[in-house]
A and B are shown apart, each in its own frame.
Chain A
Amino acid sequence: MPVDIESVPVAYSAILPMLLVLGAAAVGVLVEAFVPAARRRVAQVVVALAGLVGGLVAVVALAGEPDRLVVGDAIAIDGPTLFLQGTLCLLGIGAVLLLSESSLDSSGGDIVSSAAALPGTREDLRLAESQGVQTEVYPLAMFALGGMLLFPASNNLILMFIALEVLSLPLYLMAGLARRRRLLSQEAAVKYFLLGAFSSAFFLYGVALLYGYAGTVDLGGVREATLLAQDDDLLLYLGLAMLAVGLLFKVGAVPFQAWTPDVYQGSPTAVTALMASATKVAGFGALLRVLYVGVAEVRWDWRPALWAVAILTMVAGALLAVTQTDVKRMLAYSSVAHTGFLLVGVVTLDTDGLAGTLFYLLTYGFTTIAAFAVVTMVRDSAGEATHLSSWAGLGRRSPLLAGTFALLLFALAGIPLTSGFTAKFAVFQPALDDALPLVVVGVVASAVTAFFYARVVVLMFFTDPAPDGPSVAVPSGFTTAAIALGAAVTVVAGVVPQPLLDLAQSAALFTR
């Protein structure tokens, strides 16, 4: 007996940004299969950049339209979605530019074809010469970015889980693709994969419990169920806690931050830049949507827990960063501290806090991409020289590079006239009213972070260079463009932040 099937209308125009980016990823796979090896890299870069620029144009074109839920209420096209998708497309462009850099490393790029082969072995040389010279990292990055675009737009927990996996799985692979220090890179990939799979399981179990509570996986449906909330809604709080574990893992909040330093250090630096900026933007987007749309009505029950996580994250991130001697690990712990600052904006749970968080995500993303781009340029014979001691006296040898890095570090520390100051102000100011202790901890933690950022600046400008220290490699236009993009946003959003703040303010409304 035939049953009636209600087919869900698909508003293709509303999901065009995601379709373009994922489409570019699919085209990238075909390029990998059919374009001759000599021309493959150029084709991949063109396809990836075209997809991201197309996605950005599609986001801008959607910006004027009214907020709405599409594809059976599973995808929300609203201010935060479009703001974050635009941010992600721009950050993606920066990351693809970094991946495309091939003139820094003498062997042609930091991405290796087959990471499992030992360097210099017959197998390794054969792969380097074969048709299988891998440029798979571009489609992988595009698939990850496609998942990231979908993640903050998901209004449905199952779709959110799929987006989480689509963004995570390519990142696990990409973490293991470093040409230099392969064991470190493979260790990073395995750690990230195991812990990530574990946190995904938590997320999924949380979804199941929330479904048991609300009878639906729709965030709107969860919200309706919470309107009738009783004190003994164990399913709701257990489900929400597990969901939060999955989301807080992705953004690297304490106590789920353990993977951050190892993975950031081991991954190829271009991939780290993508992870540190874009993954954080997407993860916070999803966290914001769950909290604002799904469970805002029972905020008094979960806010204390998020308070505790925010305080722990700020304090632990700032203190642990002080002891680091590797610049990538230091940036990793600083990203943990920044996750804490962002959580202050999240727990505020009003329009100003949301706008501040969106603004913070954008500025932090660009500063981080540019900072990791600078890291790729400081090299010695063994590849990137990431130990802080080898950065001594860099300011004398290469004032421009060291000056740029100092600017980015000042921005991360939150010095006025950089985007970091405006961003910190934007997340702390709305929290003053009802989360004063958080702001106090945040300001103190900022001061601690300023200490170790300043230490690097002192090291670069007021210390004698080591005689056998690293040199600054001359990059191609790709890395230069990525650094220029990041530094420009850092300065502009610090000096004239108002247009961007207004944009974030106008975007700060979730549709239900």
Chain B
Amino acid sequence: MLDMYLPIVVLFVLAAGFAAFSVGAATITGPKRFNRAKADAYECGISPTPQPMGGGRFPVKFYLTAMLFIVFDIEIIFLYPWAVSFDQLGLFGLVEMTLFIGTVFIAYAYVWRRGGLEWD
């Protein structure tokens, strides 16, 4: 019975091995030329520290873009399987999908009119 789980164990070992190898190989072979930007946690986006006094304000542009991207993403997730099985779903699928895209479009219309697509 436990044999069933052997592939999963093998996968875990492979994954752990790959992680150890990548980090180890990078440490051994990679050049070590540190500068300020490289020491940051992320190379783009908002610097997590130091925070301005009292928390301060930070731009939400990145989050806005990320959220818009997720809406696109979800739309695509539904569009692909629908496109693949378009013939079998027929008219019903077309109508439902049009309704779905219509509702997503409402969100975009709102974002567009409210200036969510402008960077500044």
Interface residues of A (CB under 8 A from B): 2, 4-5, 7, 10, 26, 29-30, 32-34, 132
Contact = CB atoms under 8 A, between A and B. Distances in A.
Contacts of A132: 114
Q: Give chain B's interface secondary structure class.
A: helix
A34 B113 contact: yes
Interface stretch (B19-27, B45-53, B66-74, B87-95): B87-95
A4 B114 contact: no
9 contacts: A2-B87, A4-B88, A5-B88, A7-B89, A7-B92, A7-B93, A33-B110, A34-B113, A132-B114
B106 A30 contact: yes
A5 B106 CA distance: 29
Contacts of B110: 29-30, 32-33
A332 B96 CA distance: 42
Interface of B: 85, 87-89, 92-93, 96, 103, 106-107, 109-110, 112-114
The 9 closest A-B pairs by CB, nearest first: A33-B113, A33-B110, A5-B88, A29-B110, A33-B109, A26-B106, A29-B106, A7-B92, A5-B85
B114 A29 contact: no
A5 B87 CA distance: 10
A5 B89 contact: yes
Contacts of A29: 106-107, 109-110
Given A2-B85, A29-B107, 15 more contacts: A4-B88, A5-B89, A7-B93, A10-B96, A26-B103, A29-B109, A29-B110, A30-B106, A30-B109, A32-B113, A33-B109, A33-B112, A33-B113, A33-B114, A34-B113
Contacts of A7: 89, 92-93
B74 to A, nearest CB: 13
A5 B93 CA distance: 11
Contacts of B107: 29
A30 B110 CA distance: 6
Contacts of A4: 88
Nearest to B60: A116
A30 B106 CA distance: 6
Contacts of A10: 96
Contacts of A34: 109, 113
B120 to A, nearest CB: 15
Nearest to B115: A132
